[in-house]
Amino acid sequence: MSTDESRIRIVWVYPDLLSTYGDRGNVLILARRAEQRRLPVETMEVRSDQPVPRSADIYLIGGGEDGPQALAAQRLAADGTLRASAESGSVIFAICAGYQLLGHSFFAKGVQCPGLGLLDLHSDRGPTRAVGELAGDIDPRLGLPPLSGFENHGGRTHLGRGVNPLARVTTGVGNDGTTEGAWFGKTLGTYSHGPALARNPALADLLLRWAIGADRLPPLDDTWPDRLRAERRAAVAAPAGRP
Amino acid sequence: MTGRRRSAQAGAGRASGTLAVVPDAKLPLRAKVASQVSRTAAALSRAAGRGDGSVIGGWIGLKIDPDLLKHLATGRQVALVSGTNGKTTTTRLTAAAVGVLGDVATNSFGANMPSGHTSALAKAGATPYAVLEVDEHYLPQVLAATDPRAVALLNLSRDQLDRAKEVAMMAQLWRTTLANHPKVAVVANADDPMVVWAAVASPSVTWFSAGQRWHDDSWVCPECGSHIERAENQWWCTGCPLRRPEPQWVVEDDGVLDPLGHWHKVTLQLPGSVNIGNAATALAVAAQFGVRPIDAVPRLARVTSIAGRYAQVQRDGRIVRLLLAKNPASWLEAFDMAERAPTLLSINARDPDGRDTSWLYDVDFSPLADGRPVLITGDRAYDLAVRLEVNRVPFRHVTSFEDAVAAIPPGRLEVIANYSAFQDIRAELNRVN
Ligand SMILES: [Zn+2]
């Protein structure tokens, strides 16, 4: 799939608009985990006034505020590359505002805005802002351990028949208090914001496997991510208010 | 335990705790009672060992008289200092500089909401001047209550995003506020596009340039949404006329260039180029009160640590220095200040810190990958561990400050911690100031 020999090309889409909660972390973690397997990677940041490069292996779209989200959706629709690349098999991983804009429509700046329609879902405004730890059991077909994350969003997302929920919520709100995130083909979105992959290394590896078409990757020493996951799991199980 | 505590006015020339000298005669009766209760409550709070007492007293006083802050500010010439980072230090430096003219009331313990201002003014008694640090969110209220002569706007960047307003909304709030108070002299940072956009709403702005390491919250123009370009120390919007204004006060080498073109060498006991920038801001604000830089500069050199920030403490043969880093921009500044020595990083995610640790990925920790021993601790040390692995910074996890001290050879230990982690370590060191 790579145009540039055997490198994995990772494109971070519009960090000038969509980069609110440490979204850079997902780029860094994918690149690091690829390098540790001696898979050559190339990462690119593409600003909203630049064309999105075609046929990258992985596109990352981060979270953002209402105004930039609406602007990003407009520019991505006009650009057209993301849709074409998704159809030709590129991996898309989107967070929060980036996740919402992959659907048919989302709510920003007081109005319903058209999305890219890459995922069969739409988002509107919820009664309250969802802020806090987010956890859930991931769709068994993906073969991943439970999702662990932090969410901060005012939107609620309603899934159509053409997507699968990423997870069943055990802590937090996610899409609607029941399901969290969505995936279809190699496009995956989540409300677990910012560096979602820091707390979900197996999800990072799934994206890398999708990108290179591998069923498995050599294991890495995940002592610290595992301790972090265990500590967060204990924290959400403990009474509220504990650090 | 209390021996190390300084008065709230240290560096500004007034001893605290002498309630008898405070002339409340000018205050309305209700304000008089409120002011007295406020001071008593602060003293009780301190006596009970509950922190510096600078919030609780003011809070009670404001309950009794909601206009207490306004009453206490009347008759003083006030300067306000606000921004995401550097406001505690800049407030202390500004108070020192304005102190050339006379006594200055100031909230130097970082209690930067109206209760803290009320408490600071009540405690200081009648002073001709006041320099107050103001939380960004409270600038409109405090500006309305204190009718300041000058307002310093330092910078705006992401800070505890799961609780705070977004950066652009904050800039809008400031912009509206300044437009409503055209008589206030604004002293603003020319290097921060968000601050500039907010400040140009005022007809009276003095610009300073102190450099800006952090750019990730100002790539998009707050006026028109176009991309902001940067080159050298300049920045400009590619879609509208917003651009860096020509500053009148400029940091140059280890000194400050004033509007007349005179360069003043600035010698500080505080580390880092960021504090030369804070000194430049203090000199620019003091100039609004008629203080000449040449008179103020020697007073800046006397400012040491502020509420533990930059404090140096001896512990078991180690020289421990405390650096507070609350958000990505201030972490970058802390890496600039820290010497190449064993370094302890401590991270919490309690309410005062924000519960979200995502910001760790907005900070590039690679400056620490220079061979120095790095130790990590705090409630959220594991988040930090994962982050450092990504940055390829070798580290060792310790479960307490004591263990960190024991883990390094005698000599220097640099400590960089976020807010509550900093307070934890400061408490272990007997609330060092
Ligand atoms: Zn513009």
B117 touches chain A (CB under 8 A): no
Taking Cα atoms as reference points, which of B216, B236, B211 lies closest to residue B226?
B236
Given B300, B332, B348, the domain boundary residue is B300
Residue type, B373: P
Chain A residue numbers touching B349 (CB-CB < 8 A): 243
Q: What interface predicted TM-score (ipTM) does this complex get?
A: 0.94
pLDDT band at residue A14, thresholds of 50, 70 and 90?
A: very high
Q: Which of B227, B355, B389 sits opposite A132 (nearest CB)?
A: B355
B141 in any annotated domain: yes
Helix (H) or strand (E) run with residue A227 in it:
helix A223-237
Rounded CA gap, B395 and B70, in Å? 51
Q: Which of B249, B270, B300 is the last residue of a domain?
A: B300
Residue A148 lies in a domain: yes
Same domain, residue pair B316 and B296 = no
Closest-CA distance, B381 to chain A, in angstroms, reads: 9
A33/A37 Cα distance (integer angstroms): 7
Q: Quick one: B89 and B225 in the same domain?
A: yes
Identify the domain boundary among B276, B300, B324: B300
- Residues around ligand 1, an ion, CB closer than 5 A: B 221, 223-224, 226, 237, 239-240, 242
Under a CB-based contact definition with an 8 Å cutoff, are residues B300 and B266 in contact? Answer: yes
- Measured in angstroms, the CA of B73 and the nearest CA of chain A are apart by 38
Spatial separation of the C-alpha atoms in residues B75 and B73, rounded to whole Å: 6
Q: Which of A171, A199, A228 to mutate to test the interface with B (most CBs of B within 10 A)?
A: A228
Q: How far off is chain B from A217, nearest CA to CA, in Å?
A: 18
Report the distance separating Cα B20 and Cα B32, nearest Å: 13
Are B201 and B272 within one domain? yes
User: Do B216 and B365 reside in the same domain of the chain?
Assistant: no
> Is A1 contained in some domain?
no
Looking at chain A, the number of H-run helices and the number of E-run strands are 7, 11
Q: DSSP of B3-34, one letter per residue? A: TTPPPTTTTTT--SS-GGG---TTS-HHHHHH
Phi-psi region of B61 (alpha: psi -120 to 50; beta: other; left: phi over 0): alpha
A122 three-class SS: strand
Ligand 1 geometric centre to CA of B399 (Å): 48
Hey, what are B170's tokens?
């904050």
Residue A16 Cα to ligand 1 midpoint, Å, equals: 14
Q: Are residues B167 and B268 in the same domain?
A: yes
Q: Which residues of B touch A225 (CB under 8 A)?
A: 386
User: Is residue B59 in some structural domain?
Assistant: no
- Would B306 be classed as within a structural domain? no
- What is the whole-number distance in angstroms between the Cα of residue B238 and the centre of ligand 1? 6
The average pLDDT across A150-170 equals 97
Look up the domain containing B211 and give its range.
Answer: 2-13+71-300
Q: What is the CATH number of the domain that holds B363?
A: 3.90.190.20
Of A195, A225, A228, the CB nearest to B358: A195
H or E, element range at B321: strand B318-324
Is A89 part of a structural domain of the chain?
yes
Q: How far is the CA of B202 from the centre of ligand 1 (A)?
A: 18
State how far the Cα of B210 lies from the Cα of B414, in Å rounded to an integer: 24
pLDDT in tens, B355-404: 999 999 989 999 999 999 999 999 999 999 999 999 999 999 999 999 99
B182 Cα–ligand 1 center, Å: 23
Shared-domain flag, residues B292 and B220: yes
pLDDT > 90 in chain A, percent:
87
Instruction: Tell me, yes or no, whether A242 lies in a domain.
Output: no
Residue B71: phi, psi to the nearest 5? Answer: -60, -40
Nearest partner of B86 among B116, B110, B120, B53, judged by Cα: B110
Q: CA B212 → CA A20, B60, B177, B218, B280, distances in Å?
A: 19, 39, 24, 11, 14
Q: In the predicted model, what is the mean pLDDT of residues A102-127? A: 96
Domain of residue A141, residue span: 8-237
Q: Is B263 on the interface with A (CB under 8 A)?
A: no
Q: Examine the domain organization and report whether B79 and B138 are in the same domain.
A: yes
CATH at residue A183: 3.40.50.880
Asked if the Cβ–Cβ distance from A150 to B358 is below 8 Å, we say yes
Name the domain count of chain A: 1
**Does some domain include residue B38?**
no
Measured in angstroms, how far is the CA atom of residue B331 from the centroid of ligand 1?
Answer: 28
- Portion 208-227 of B in contact with A at CB < 8 A: 216, 219-220, 225-227
Lowest mean pLDDT among A140-149, A156-165, B28-37, B143-152: B28-37
The better pLDDT of the pair A144, B22 is held by A144
- Residue of A24, A152, A243 lying closest to B349 (CB–CB): A243
CATH number of the domain to which B218 belongs: 3.40.1190.10
Answer whether A198 sits within 8 Å of B158, measured CB to CB. Answer: no
Interface check B164 vs A, CB under 8 A: no
User: Domain for residue B248, yes or no?
Assistant: yes
Residue A1: band (very low, low, confident or very high) from pLDDT cuts 50, 70, 90? very low
Q: How far apart are the first and last CA of chain A?
A: 44
What is the distance between the terminal CA atoms of chain B, rounded to a whole angstrom?
A: 12
Phi/psi region, residue B427 (left: phi>0; alpha: psi -120 to 50; beta: rest), is alpha
Q: Inter-chain contact B360–A195, Cβ cutoff 8 Å?
A: yes
Q: Which amino acid is at B258?
A: D
- Residue B96 and residue B195 share a domain: yes
Separation of A17 CA from ligand 1 center, angstroms? 14
Strand, helix or coil for residue A228: helix
Token pair 């998704």 in the structure block, residue: A86
- The beta strand positions in A99-218, using DSSP E, are 105-108, 111-114, 121-138, 147-159, 164-171, 179-184, 187-190
Bridge partner list, B322? B415
B257: left (phi over 0), alpha (psi -120 to 50) or beta: beta
The count of structural domains within chain B is 2
Residue pLDDT tens, chain B, 433 long? 333 333 333 333 333 333 333 445 667 777 777 777 777 666 656 555 555 556 667 777 777 777 889 999 999 999 999 999 899 999 999 999 999 999 999 986 778 888 899 989 988 989 999 999 999 999 999 999 999 999 999 999 877 654 445 788 899 999 999 999 999 999 999 999 999 999 999 999 999 998 777 777 778 888 998 889 999 889 999 999 999 999 999 999 999 999 999 999 999 998 888 899 999 999 999 999 999 999 999 999 999 877 777 888 898 899 999 999 988 888 988 998 899 999 999 999 998 888 999 999 989 999 999 999 999 999 999 999 999 999 999 999 999 999 999 999 999 999 999 999 999 998 888 766 6
